[in-house]
Amino acid sequence: MKPPRGKVPLPIIITTICVLFFIAVLYAERLSFLPSSSIFKFKTCPRKLNKPKSNDRKIEDVLANASWIDDRFDFDPEECNVANGKWVFNHSIKPLYSDTSCPYIDRQYSCVKNGRNDSDYLHWEWQPEDCTLPPFNPELALNKLQGKRLLFVGDSLQRNQWESFVCLVQGIIPEKKKSMKRGRVHSVFKAKEYNATIEFYWAPFLVESNTDIRIIGDPKKRIIKVDEISERAKNWTGVDILVFNTYVWWMSGLRVKALWGSFSNGQEGYEELDTPVAYNLGLRTWANWVDSTIDPNKTRVFFTTMSPAHTKSADWGHKDGVKCFNETKPVRKKNHWGSGSNKGMMSVVAKVIKKMKVPVDVINITQISEYRIDAHSSVYTETGGKMLTKEERANPLNADCIHWCLPGLPDTWNQIFLAML
What integer is the mean pLDDT of 387-393?
93
Whether 371 contacts 61, CB under 8 Å: no
Whether 172 contacts 154, CB under 8 Å: no
Among the residue ranges 3-17, 82-96, 368-382, the one predicted with the least confidence is 3-17
pLDDT of 67 above 60: no
**Confidence band (pLDDT; 50, 70, 90) for 37?**
very low
What is the phi/psi pair of residue 176, to 5°?
Answer: -80, -5
376 is catalytic: no
Helix residue spans in 113-155 (DSSP H):
138-144
Position 262 scores a pLDDT of: 58
**Confidence band (pLDDT; 50, 70, 90) for 19?**
low
pLDDT digits (tens, 9 = 90+) for 154-166: 999 999 999 999 9
Beta strands of 162-214 (E only): which ranges?
A: 178-181, 186-191, 196-202, 208-209
Q: Annotated catalytic residue: which of 155, 212, 400, 411?
A: 400
d(CA 415, CA 262): 41
In percent, the amount of the chain with pLDDT more than 90 equals 75
119 is catalytic: no
Whether 359 contacts 320, CB under 8 Å: no
- Asked if the bond preceding 359 is cis, omega within 30° of 0, the reply is no
Q: Annotated catalytic residue: which of 209, 307, 403, 411?
A: 403
Whether 127 contacts 199, CB under 8 Å: no
pLDDT digits (tens, 9 = 90+) for 267-324: 567 899 999 999 999 999 999 999 999 999 999 999 999 999 999 999 999 999 999 9
pLDDT digits (tens, 9 = 90+) for 210-252: 998 889 989 889 999 999 999 999 999 999 999 999 999 999 8
400 is catalytic: yes
d(CA 154, CA 303): 10
Residue 165: CB partners within 8 Å, gap ≥ 6?
A: 141, 150, 152, 198, 414, 417
d(CA 191, CA 147): 10
Among the residue ranges 14-18, 80-84, 277-281, 399-403, the one predicted with the least confidence is 14-18
**CA–centroid distance for 256 within its chain:** 27
d(CA 231, CA 384): 28
Position 33 scores a pLDDT of: 34
Position 168 scores a pLDDT of: 98
pLDDT of 341 above 50: yes
pLDDT of 405 above 60: yes
pLDDT of 60 above 90: no
pLDDT of 1 above 70: no
Q: Beta-carbon neighbour count of residue 162 at 10 Å?
A: 25
Q: Annotated catalytic residue: which of 156, 227, 240, 318?
A: 156
Closest listed residue to residue 370, CA positions, set 318, 315, 414 = 315
Amino acid (1-letter code) at residue 219? P
Is residue 324 classed as helix, strand or coil in its secondary structure? coil
Amino acid (1-letter code) at residue 215? I
Q: What is the largest CA-CA distance in the chain?
A: 114
Position 74 scores a pLDDT of: 85
What does each C-alpha distance from 223 to 156, 234, 265 come to in angstroms?
A: 19, 21, 12
Helix residue spans in 97-229 (DSSP H):
138-144, 156-170
pLDDT digits (tens, 9 = 90+) for 391-403: 999 999 999 999 9
**Rounded mean pLDDT of the chain?**
86
Whether 365 contacts 417, CB under 8 Å: no
Query: Is the whole model's pTM more than 0.85, yes or no?
Result: no
Position 261 scores a pLDDT of: 66
What integer is the mean pLDDT of 369-398?
94
- Asked if the bond preceding 407 is cis, omega within 30° of 0, the reply is yes
The DSSP 8-state label assigned to residue 247 in this structure reads -
Query: What DSSP element (H or E) covers 346?
Result: helix 343-354
Whether 151 contacts 202, CB under 8 Å: no
